[in-house]
């Protein structure tokens, strides 16, 4: 079937395979609200500039509002023969109000129309993601406040390193998510220029007011170059880059949930809300939600990579390749939203197993650095000497199959005579975390203070 909207140029209808590859309505129909919002703003401007009559503008507005109601009610029939959301809306508008519908497209093109629609959509999604990320931050902050003094091992190379607190660990993710929110906000700020009125690529000879339509749609200003306005998708790329980094942060915590909830670690317990059983092993409780969050990071990163490859070789201005920008972006942003929601639920649901974590924090000579610091601070040794002496004491404790705190004073003095009874005051995990009072340190008083600051910031 020839598309009557542009069929005057062609004498025969497209081959079936052309119709299949060309149509985008199956996925871009979700842009209907943004498309209609852009059309309403454009219509009002055309009337204000006397490019179309007030009566035609009134009819167009009435018709567009009816189209939106039909789509929202689920009674609208989308046609693949009409290719995209723009043509589907315009065709139905023509059915409702007649020939006046054709005046709506004056001074614009589908090129600036889709760029406008997509910017509006991405901007809306960024707002939603920001709210979700703030909620996830609040979940981590609540855990930090409850567990400011709950001791756990801190790891490097997944090896026990130094004792930290569970609250401090949670606040690390609050900081990461804050940067994620900042990246999305940066992307939103840069995308907030309106392409509408750039037309196909060169602007238009009609006396349109692009400032008016930009303001009506909540943009900061019109885009300043018509070629750039219709041909670039860096606003999608930047948003997907922010989404990918955010997904990596979610994936890192998801990995920790998988590890911590295992029988080998048993650092946290999770309810059945975010776990599943095994079809054959009745004892299993699998952290499927965390595993799926972890997997979705690859999907989101893949969307960014796909669009970068689409865009990398395109000459100015618009090319049909850019139709491939929407599906991966929709999928990635949908899945990021789902991952954030799932992670928020898991963070609120998880309960640290304090005794297990404290025992693990005490293992592996995790207070060795505290011993070295004591030798510097009290015995006055250079740190490199203190490091060497501490290593010798660790070797002695390994030989005796005990912890550093279980060595006798005589054992310690056999390595260095300067060691006194006071050294035992720094060898417990509680003493270790309490001593880390430097800015950003894990001391419980620091954690409570930072949790309070974040609660206030999130509320504001």
| Active site members | 157, 278
Mapping DSSP onto H, E and C, the string for 62-84 reads: HHHHHHHHHHHHCCCCCCHHHCC
3-state secondary structure of 278: coil
Q: Which two tokens mark 129?
A: 């993601």
> Are 322 and 233 within 8 A, CB to CB?
yes
Q: DSSP assignment of 305-371, as one string?
A: HHHHHHHTTPPSS--GGGGGGHHHHHHHHHHHHHHHHHHHHHHHH-EE-HHHHHHHHHSTTTTHHHH
Distance, in Å, from the CA atom of 150 to the CA atom of 280, rounded to the nearest integer, reads 36
> Are 367 and 428 within 8 A, CB to CB?
yes
Which residue shows structure tokens 């009566």?
Answer: 55
Distance, in Å, from the CA atom of 251 to the CA atom of 293, rounded to the nearest integer, reads 6
Distance, in Å, from the CA atom of 301 to the CA atom of 291, rounded to the nearest integer, reads 16
- Using the 8-state DSSP alphabet, how is residue 214 labeled? H
Residues with Cβ within 8 Å of 317's Cβ and at least 6 positions away in sequence, in order, are 111, 200, 201, 227, 230, 231
Residues found in the chain: 460
Residues paired with residue 351 on neighbouring β-strands, in sequence order:
269
> Are 199 and 107 within 8 A, CB to CB?
yes
The bridge status of strand 193-194 relative to strand 221-222 is parallel
- Using the 8-state DSSP alphabet, how is residue 42 labeled? H
Closest CA to 332 of 388, 411, 250, 433: 250
């Amino acid at each position: 079937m020839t598309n009557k909207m542009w069929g005057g140029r062609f004498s025969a209808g497209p081959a079936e395979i052309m119709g299949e590859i060309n149509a985008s309505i199956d996925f871009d129909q979700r842009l209907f609200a943004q498309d209609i919002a852009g059309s309403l703003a454009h219509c009002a401007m055309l009337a204000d500039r006397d490019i179309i009559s007030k009566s035609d503008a009134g009819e167009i507005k009435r018709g567009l509002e009816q189209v939106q109601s039909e789509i929202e009610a689920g009674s609208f029939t989308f046609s693949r023969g009409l290719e995209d959301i723009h043509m589907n809306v315009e065709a139905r508008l023509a059915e409702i109000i007649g020939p006046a519908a054709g005046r709506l497209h004056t001074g614009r093109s589908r090129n600036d129309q889709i760029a406008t629609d997509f910017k509006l959509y991405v901007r809306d999604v960024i707002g939603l993601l920001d709210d979700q990320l703030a909620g996830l931050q609040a979940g981590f902050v609540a855990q930090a406040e409850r567990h400011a003094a709950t001791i756990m091992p801190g790891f490097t190379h997944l090896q026990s390193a130094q004792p930290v607190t569970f609250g401090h660990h949670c606040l690390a993710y609050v900081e990461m998510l804050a940067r994620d929110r900042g990246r999305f906000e940066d992307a939103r700020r840069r995308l907030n220029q309106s392409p509408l009125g750039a037309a196909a690529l060169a602007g238009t000879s009609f006396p349109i007011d692009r400032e008016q339509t930009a303001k009506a749609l909540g943009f900061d200003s019109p885009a300043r170059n018509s070629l750039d306005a219709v041909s670039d998708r860096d606003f999608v790329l930047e948003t997907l880059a922010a989404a990918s980094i955010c997904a990596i942060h979610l994936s890192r915590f998801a990995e920790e949930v998988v590890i911590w909830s295992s029988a080998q670690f048993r650092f946290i317990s999770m309810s059945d809300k975010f776990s599943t059983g095994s079809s054959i092993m009745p004892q299993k409780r699998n952290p499927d939600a965390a595993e799926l969050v972890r997997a979705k990071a690859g999907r989101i990163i893949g969307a960014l990579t796909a669009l970068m490859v689409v865009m990398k070789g395109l000459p100015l201005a618009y090319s049909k390749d850019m139709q491939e920008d929407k599906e991966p972006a929709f999928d990635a942003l949908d899945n990021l939203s789902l991952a954030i929601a799932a992670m928020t639920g898991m963070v609120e649901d998880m309960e640290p197993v304090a005794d297990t974590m404290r025992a693990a924090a005490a293992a592996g000579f995790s207070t060795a650095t505290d011993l070295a610091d004591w030798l510097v601070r009290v015995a006055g040794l250079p740190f490199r000497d203190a490091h060497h002496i501490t290593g010798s004491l660790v070797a002695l404790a390994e030989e005796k199959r005990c912890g550093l705190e279980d060595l006798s004073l005589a054992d310690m003095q056999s390595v260095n005579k300067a060691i006194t009874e006071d050294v035992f005051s720094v060898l417990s995990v509680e003493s270790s975390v309490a001593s880390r009072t430097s800015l950003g340190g894990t001391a419980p008083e620091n954690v409570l203070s930072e949790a309070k600051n974040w609660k206030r910031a999130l509320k504001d």
